[in-house]
Structure 1
């Protein structure tokens, strides 16, 4: 295959078809690569990627060759599938894509209902690559929801649920109880289910009830972690506590992992685009109201008294009004841009919503223009921050970070 990225793009990245039938069929055809290594399966609304990064770092510190599967990517698809902190190469990606197509001829030959979706194909590629390179353990992040997510075809050693909030409400429900029920769909009989220690009370009870119904031992992580954390922001203390509790269960399941390795992993983990500073610009993937509130709190904690120039853009399915309610008071001005996605909310609409809250908001034609304007406004003592959409953060990171 000459260009694996062109093939993946042809699978319509935004198309979703719920159900696990295609995944089970494909895994059967491939000989169940996901059974070759123990898996930590991580879901939730906010912080699941950070939790995955900490868990993978700890497992690597313990001497394991670790596979890490996350989504979405920020700059290149290859970021989604990593082994020993290195993204999959294009050659290996092309190879596993060809292998999946050979094993599943019904994918290319079938009708729309038979074809694997973009995310299903990506998940299979990650699981197969992990088997080929012989990982000792894998950390797998849920894509969306849990119950019908492609990753839920895995039977892991441990499941973990990060903090739950209102996001993707048009697909998962408009209450935290409904969303918690969907997230808890990854719980399996006899598999420990570890949940973030700071859940909304209604979400926690829904998770507890579903764990009992499914026969999953239920563990509530401590609300905070007292040790050193590499990732920035006060909200990472809860994520670190979740990672440590989930890893402790993984160790109890037979995976060689000391508490010292867990502590060192949490103290060294890196996760791009989450309160990450590049070329003097702070990038954060806050893309829903709870994430926006966490970012606002982090800005006040990390940069007290410094004015913030916020480059902001959102997708149309996000609650931009509540995000602005959290972020506008934390910023001196907003530099609004339309993210590079067909699902983006137009920048003029977002800017008008910000102005109704009394915020200063300008509209820019591009991310480059918005960052340049924010930098000029921030000099000499301000902070430039890009947030609101992972698509926007990825575009900014591609511009700011050396390859």
Structure 2
């Protein structure tokens, strides 16, 4: 954190020039941020949104009012930071640290009214934790990045809860008991009020397939979600509670704006369908909990349809549980390398895959893997690309 704090001080503390919502968690962070940022924009605010990773272009990480930062503004912001903090080069910052500082500088420079910030990894030592939030949030915590965050849910949740600030309310999604206990312990130590899903706020389906939300002060009926999958109900609940907490902290949000945010938000690469006959489905599931959510969504959205999988994974992921859950449900599996040095070569786990699915092939590039899946799929089947957001970005770049 020292480099980030030094850089922000050299820049005159841009992070203090706007209120922020800071979101941590294992899964659902991006969708929650998208719902919230869209609603804040509908409420008339100029909204900065900082997320990671990007899918196709790094500009996607820094958005104002739904638009990616332009190349010109991005370049200017980078040069501004380097001019004011040359130590970024002489004592190199990490890619994520530098990107975070550039985002906070840009948001301050263009005068956003509020920013929505997604952590990269963890929370306690995440560069975004240098920001000044008026509300924080923690989406569901599960096993991921264990080599950095710990090997128990309590340890991982404790790292995520590192975003909490004294006296700043934190919205918490429904958690496993040991994860919630770690978050509560951290909150009590800081005097940070908690809004916990299930006790302080809830979202429930209605007979007409719409949703109803009940929070400490807000009640909304007839809600619809732009993002697909049953898991988005929980993300929407957390987003609404964040909006309610922001409103209570002076960031004005109307109920109608909240409704619009849920109904119009976009978040690419998460159950994103491109093409037709067969549809190509892109999903960034990259840990066991994400795969469980994906499988539930497939049953809900594509019941009874055969799935032809294009799968790529980075070497530091816990691939075994993902493969054991997903591969037996697929008619065919095409393994592909990823365009990153972290990629796991398909040859290293093709035998493992063949024990889980009868039709498995390993390919040298994503184009060959995608073409093979498309050849095997009938018009009523589904081609699913998952295992890593790197893979989703690669396919999106190819399919436009």
In the superposition, the TM-score normalised over structure 2's length comes to: 0.92
Deviations 1:136-185 (A, max 9, x none): 11100000000000000012010001110000001100111100000000
Q: Which residue matches 1:282?
A: 281
- Alignment equivalent of 1:97, drawn from 42, 57, 78: 78
- Alignment equivalent of 1:106, drawn from 87, 103, 127: 87
Contact 2:333/2:357, CA 8 A, preserved across alignment: no
Contact 1:300/1:330, CA 8 A, preserved across alignment: no
Deviations 1:176-206 (A, max 9, x none): 1100000000000010011112x11111111
Deviations 1:271-293 (A, max 9, x none): 01000012231100000010011
Q: Which residue matches 1:157?
A: 134
Q: Distance in 2 between matches of 1:319 and 1:221?
A: 28
Contact 1:354/1:360, CA 8 A, preserved across alignment: no
Runs of 4+ in 1 over 3 A off after TM superposition: 222-225
Contact 1:313/1:350, CA 8 A, preserved across alignment: no
- Alignment equivalent of 2:169, drawn from 189, 192, 200: 192
Q: Distance in 1 between matches of 2:50 and 2:357?
A: 41
Q: Which residue matches 1:235?
A: 231
Per-residue deviation, 1:359: 4.4
Q: Partner of 1:157: helix, strand, or coil? A: strand
Matches within 5 A, 1:12-23: 20-23=1-4
Per-residue deviation, 1:258: 1.2
1:350 paired to 2:349 = yes
Q: Which residue matches 2:250?
A: 254
Deviations 1:278-336 (A, max 9, x none): 22311000000100111111111100010000110101111111001221233111111
Per-residue deviation, 1:130: 0.8
In the superposition, the TM-score normalised over structure 1's length comes to: 0.91
Q: Which residue matches 1:147?
A: 124
Q: Which moved more, 1:365-374 or 1:135-144?
A: 365-374
Q: Distance in 2 between matches of 1:339 and 1:61?
A: 37
Contact 2:330/2:357, CA 8 A, preserved across alignment: no
1:213 paired to 2:189 = yes
Contact 2:33/2:117, CA 8 A, preserved across alignment: yes
Matches within 5 A, 1:4-403: 20-109=1-90, 114-197=91-174, 199-222=175-198, 224-225=203-204, 226=211, 227-279=223-275, 280-401=279-400
> Number of residue pairs matched?
377
Unpaired runs of 5+ residues, structure 1, are 1-19
Q: Partner of 1:40: helix, strand, or coil? A: strand
Q: Partner of 1:42: helix, strand, or coil? A: strand
Q: Distance in 1 between matches of 2:142 and 2:293?
A: 12
Q: Distance in 2 between matches of 1:330 and 1:300?
A: 11
Q: CA RMSD in A?
A: 1.2
Contact 2:328/2:357, CA 8 A, preserved across alignment: no
Q: Distance in 1 between matches of 2:164 and 2:228?
A: 29
Contact 1:106/1:115, CA 8 A, preserved across alignment: yes
Per-residue deviation, 1:133: 1.2
Q: Which residue matches 1:11?
A: none
Give the direction of change, closer, same or farther, for the CA distance of 1:347–1:136 in structure 2 (3 Å limit): same
